[in-house]
Structure formats: C-alpha cells, structure tokens
Amino acid sequence: MANDSPNPVNYYVDIAGAGAFWVLRINDVSIWSHFAPDDTNLSLPVNAYLKTGRNEISVNFMSVTGSPAEYNLADPDFYFQARIDRIDLVTRDSERATLLNLALDQDNVVISPEVTKFGSAPDERTSPPMKIGKDRQDEAALIGGWGDEWTGRRITADFEISDPLPEPPWASAPVLADTPETRARLLAAYRDLHEVIQSGDRRRIQTSYEPAWRHLAITMNYASLDEFIQKTAPSEALAPDDGQGGMLEPLDLVLGPENFEIERMAGGRLIRIVPDPILWRRDGKYVASTNVAFFQGPDGNLHVGAVLY
C-alpha cells in the first residue's frame, strides 16, 4: 500500500493574501476558502489532491475594500500568492515554485508583479515541481453558502510534478449534476454520516470515512490505513463529545433543508454542502466541523471521498 517513490515526499501549498474573498482549488477541488479581506498566511499539505504530471491550481477571488464594503474595485492592498513546496522526507531537501503571484493595477487589471508582496522574486524552476505556461483568467461564481453569490475573477495556472501519486477515489466516479434528486441524496448522505458520528461507534465511523482516509494514508506515505489511524487518531476528532465541552450539534443547514447550497468539484465528481453542516459547538460558539465531500461509488451510493480543510 505504501507509495513506491524511492524517497517519500510531501507537498505543501503556501498561501498568502489580503484584500479579497477567495477560494483556492487544486485540480478543481477546493483546498481553502477565506471570506474576509484580512491577511492570510498558511501552509497546507496537498498530496491527496495532486497527480503525477500536469496539475492545475486556481484562485477565484473578489476584491473587498472599505466600510461599508465595496467589491471588485482596484484595491492597492490586494495580493494573492500560492507556492508549491516539495519536501523530501529522507534528505529534508525543499524545492519550491511560485504558482500564482497576483495584484491589481490602478485600472483594476489583474497583474503578476516581478516581485512578490514581500519584496522577493517569485521562485521559478525549469524542472518539477514547476509552473507551466501562462496564467488564464475567466469568471466564476463565488459561493460562501450563506445565500450570497458573487461573480469572482478566476486565475488558473498549470504546474508539473514528477513523483508517483495514486488516483483519488473520485477520479473515475460519475459526474453528478445539481438536480433535486442529487440534492436529496446528498442531504441523506449527510444525515447518515451525522447519525454515525453521533453514535460514537469508531468502527462505523472508520467505515464511513474509509475511502478518504485510505487515500490520505497512501499519499501521505503511511505503511497502511491502520498505521494512519494509529498515528493520527482521526476518530478522536469526531467524538460527539470532545471532553472539553464541545458537543456535536444537530445538522446545521443555514439556509434550511430545501435551499442549502452545494459545491461541485473535480468536474462534478465530488459534491458537498457549504458551509459545513456537521459542527461542534462549545458554549454556543463554533469550535470544529468535519468538512467532507462525497462521490458516487460503484455501488451507486454516495461515499466520503475527501476530507477537506
């Protein structure tokens, strides 16, 4: 089951930005979203969303400035950067490539400056991991799940990696259209998953999450699913009572069971409800969620295919 790479590697995406609402995707799977204009700076492991060869990264954003907020204006404080970082787990060598380095000029045109917001040159490479070609721009719906929908500017770039990585469980799954039937099936899948988590039965929880956890185990270089579970203890984070006052809430559909918003990813092969409807709260405040996306398996049922951030 272990990855057959001569040296195991981990990939991370380093993200920094400000002045916008945005959603970042890798190979059309949402990796992170941020619906506030404040500064963001984080690094995320992304082996599970990559594939050998050509990959795609995109950010769909809408600049936000002022109070009251104004949208899609030429905000001089806007910037967005994304960099891929390959770490050899044996030698600890790091190879980095800048994938997106964006700003807005005075005419509100998206540009790629010669230096980053931090005054350094973008990391450019001529061997994997490396960026390929030029950025592409179009428009796409930007959905937060709270009833607001904006039209964002989407910037897409291609990059290449050479390490062997397995296909994700959704790679060959059928495309799911946004239909009343699909929405009913998705809601039923969330209700079933919520009931499993509420039961506290770790065996049932592992069965429900197994396609996603098995893929994570392989791509993150664990010897087996059992080793992944032993070392990361993912079921502990899914206890209905976290032991510190955090309790699993009833399924939280902010727009109700008829009007919830769904996000289709991976060309429509992965779907989820946004925002996350399975939540834990402590003293009335949100403390955690389980952010999952479903695919249709060979048995025709919806299964957890990805655990997102």
Distances (CA, A) of 149 to 145, 272, 276, 291: 8, 17, 17, 20
201 CB-near residues (< 8 Å, 6+ apart):
none
Yes or no: domain 180-307 corresponds to CATH 3.10.450: yes
User: pLDDT value at position 17?
Assistant: 97
Spatial separation of the C-alpha atoms in residues 272 and 286, rounded to whole Å: 19
Q: What percent of the chain has pLDDT over 70?
A: 98
Cα 257 to chain center, whole Å?
24
What radius of gyration do the chain's Cα atoms show?
Answer: 20
In the block, which residue shows the tokens 């040296």?
7
55 CB-near residues (< 8 Å, 6+ apart):
26, 27, 158, 159, 160, 161
pLDDT band at 144 (very low <50, low <70, confident <90, very high): confident
Distances (CA, A) of 24 to 57, 86, 163, 172: 7, 19, 22, 23
298 CB-near residues (< 8 Å, 6+ apart):
none
Q: Which amino acid is at 179?
A: T
Q: Could you give the residue range(s) of every CATH 3.10.450 domain in the chain?
A: 180-307
Question: If you average pLDDT over residues 166-172, what whole number do you get?
Answer: 97
User: pLDDT value at position 2?
Assistant: 45
pTM for this one? Answer: 0.94
57 CB-near residues (< 8 Å, 6+ apart):
13, 24, 25, 26, 82, 84, 99, 100, 156, 157, 158, 159
pLDDT in tens, 184-239: 999 999 999 999 999 999 999 999 999 999 999 999 999 999 999 999 999 999 99
Give the number of other CB atoms < 10 A from CB of residue 113. 13
User: pLDDT value at position 67?
Assistant: 85
